[in-house]
C-alpha cells in the first residue's frame, strides 16, 4: 500500500480546527473587545444575534447576568487551555521520569513504580480528582496541581515500554562502555530516542485533560465563578438549558472542536512517525 503522505485529511482538519480555536483565543480580545465580566441586567438571556445595550450585538447571546457569551467563551477557552497545558507540563515529566527509572533499573524500582501506576489507574479518575479537590479546596492552582499529579500514570507506562525496547540496543551499550554516567545516559541517549512516542502521547492526552477540566468546571469543583472556563460556562448554562439553549450548545461546541483537533493531530502524528504507544 502507498505510504501515507505528510498532508492528509487528518492533518488538514486537525490543524484547521486547532488554528480556529487558537486564533480565536489569541486574536479574539482584539477582534471582539467586549468585557466578559460586564453585566447588563436589562439584557439577560438574549438569544444569539440579538442586540443589547446601545444597540451592541450579542453574536452568541447573553447569559443570566446579561454577559456576552462570545466574550466569555473567548476568555474561558484561554483559561481552560492554560490549565490543561500547565497540568500536562506537570504530568508528562513526572510520568516520564518514573517510566524511565522503572525501565532502566528494573527489579524493585520497576515493581514499585508499576504498582503505583496500577493503583493510580484503578481509582476512577474523576472520583479521585473530585475527592482531592474537595479536600484541598477548589481553585485554579489546586486544579492544575491535581490534574498534573494524577495524570502521570499513562506517561510512565509508555516511557517504560519505550526504554525497555531500546535499553539493550548497541548504542546504549556503547555509551555505557564509554563510561557515561547514568544521568548522561538518560539525558543524552535515552530521552531523545523515546521522544517521538511521548509527543504523540501528549497530543492524545491533551483532549482527555480538556474534557476532565470541563467536567470539573461543570461540577462546580474547578475554577470558581465568575471566572469563565469552558466547563464553568457549561455548568452555569445547564440550569437554563430548557430556556436558553445557546448557553450550553456553544461552549460545548468549542470543547468538541478542541478535542477533535487534538485527536486528529495525534492520529496524524501516529501515521507519519509510525509510533506505537501501546
Partner 1 sequence: MVQYIAGRLAQAIIVLLGVSAVVFFALFLTGDPAVLMMPPDASRAELDAFRRAMGFDDPMVVQYGRYLWRALHGDLGSSLRFQQSTLSLVFERLPATVLLAVSALCWSTLVGALAGIVGALKRGTYVDFGVRLIALLGQAIPVFWLGLLLMLVFSLYLGWLPTGGYGRWQQLILPSLSLGAYYMSSMTRLGRASMIDVMAQDYILTARGKGLTEPSVVLKHAYRNSLIPVVTVLAMHLGQLLGGAVITELIFSWPGIGRLAIQAIYTRDFPLVQAVVLLSASIFVFVNLAVDILYVVLNPRIRI
Contact footprint for partner 1 (CB under 8 A): 115-116, 118-119, 122-128, 130-132, 134-137, 207, 211, 214-215, 218-219, 221, 234, 238, 241-242, 245, 248-249, 252, 255-256, 259-260, 263-264
Give the cell for residue 93: 515529566
Cβ of residue 75: shortest distance to partner 1, in angstroms? Answer: 19
Cβ of residue 223: shortest distance to partner 1, in angstroms? Answer: 17
Cβ of residue 242: shortest distance to partner 1, in angstroms? Answer: 5
Nearer to partner 1, 12 or 241 (CB): 241
Size of the chain in residues: 278
SS (H, E, C) the chain: CCCCCCCCHHHHHHHHHHHHHHHHHHHHHHHCCCCCCCCCHHHCCCCCCEECHHHCEECCCECCCCCEHHHHHHHHHHHHHHHHHHHHHHHHHHHHHHHHHHHHHCHHHHHHHHHHHHHHHHCCHHHHHHHHHHHHCCCHHHHHHHHHHHCHHHHHHHHHHHHHHHCCCHHHHHHHHCCCCHHHHHHHHHHHHHHHHHHHHHHHHHHHHHHHHHHHHHCCCCCCCCCCCHHHHHHHHHCCCCCCCHHHHHHHHHHHHHHHHHHHHHHHHHHHHCCCCC
Cβ of residue 154: shortest distance to partner 1, in angstroms? Answer: 13
Nearer to partner 1, 32 or 125 (CB): 125
Nearer to partner 1, 89 or 123 (CB): 123
Cβ of residue 31: shortest distance to partner 1, in angstroms? Answer: 26
Nearest CA-CA partner of 277 in 166, 194, 212: 194
Nearer to partner 1, 31 or 119 (CB): 119
Cβ of residue 231: shortest distance to partner 1, in angstroms? Answer: 9
Nearer to partner 1, 93 or 220 (CB): 220
C-alpha to C-alpha distances, 91 to 3, 149, 258, nearest whole angstrom? 34, 6, 20
Cβ of residue 85: shortest distance to partner 1, in angstroms? Answer: 18
Nearer to partner 1, 83 or 190 (CB): 83
Amino acid at each position: 500500500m502507498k505510504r501515507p503522505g505528510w498532508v492528509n485529511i487528518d492533518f488538514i482538519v486537525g490543524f484547521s480546527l486547532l488554528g480556529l480555536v487558537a486564533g480565536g483565543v489569541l486574536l479574539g480580545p482584539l477582534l471582539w473587545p467586549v468585557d466578559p465580566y460586564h453585566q447588563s441586567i436589562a439584557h439577560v438571556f438574549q438569544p444569539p444575534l440579538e442586540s443589547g445595550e446601545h444597540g451592541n450585538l450579542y453574536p452568541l447571546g447573553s447569559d443570566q447576568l446579561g454577559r456576552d457569551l462570545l466574550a466569555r467563551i473567548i476568555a474561558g477557552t484561554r483559561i481552560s487551555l492554560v490549565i490543561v497545558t500547565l497540568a500536562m507540563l506537570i504530568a508528562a515529566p513526572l510520568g516520564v521520569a518514573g517510566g524511565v527509572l522503572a525501565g532502566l533499573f528494573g527489579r524493585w524500582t520497576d515493581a514499585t513504580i508499576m504498582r503505583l501506576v496500577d493503583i493510580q489507574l484503578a481509582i476512577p479518575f474523576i472520583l479521585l480528582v473530585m475527592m482531592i479537590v474537595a479536600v484541598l479546596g477548589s481553585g485554579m492552582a489546586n486544579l492544575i496541581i491535581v490534574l498534573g499529579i494524577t495524570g502521570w500514570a499513562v506517561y510512565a507506562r509508555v516511557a517504560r515500554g519505550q526504554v525497555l525496547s531500546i535499553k539493550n540496543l548497541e548504542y546504549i551499550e556503547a555509551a555505557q562502555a564509554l563510561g557515561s554516567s547514568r544521568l548522561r545516559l538518560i539525558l543524552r541517549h535515552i530521552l531523545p530516542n523515546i521522544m517521538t512516542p511521548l509527543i504523540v502521547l501528549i497530543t492524545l492526552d491533551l483532549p482527555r485533560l480538556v474534557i476532565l477540566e470541563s467536567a470539573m468546571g461543570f461540577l462546580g469543583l474547578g475554577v470558581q465563578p465568575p471566572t469563565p472556563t469552558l466547563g464553568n460556562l457549561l455548568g452555569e448554562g445547564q440550569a437554563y438549558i430548557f430556556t436558553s439553549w445557546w448557553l450550553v450548545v456553544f461552549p460545548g461546541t468549542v470543547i468538541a472542536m478542541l478535542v477533535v483537533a487534538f485527536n486528529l493531530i495525534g492520529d496524524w502524528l501516529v501515521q507519519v512517525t509510525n509510533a506505537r504507544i501501546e
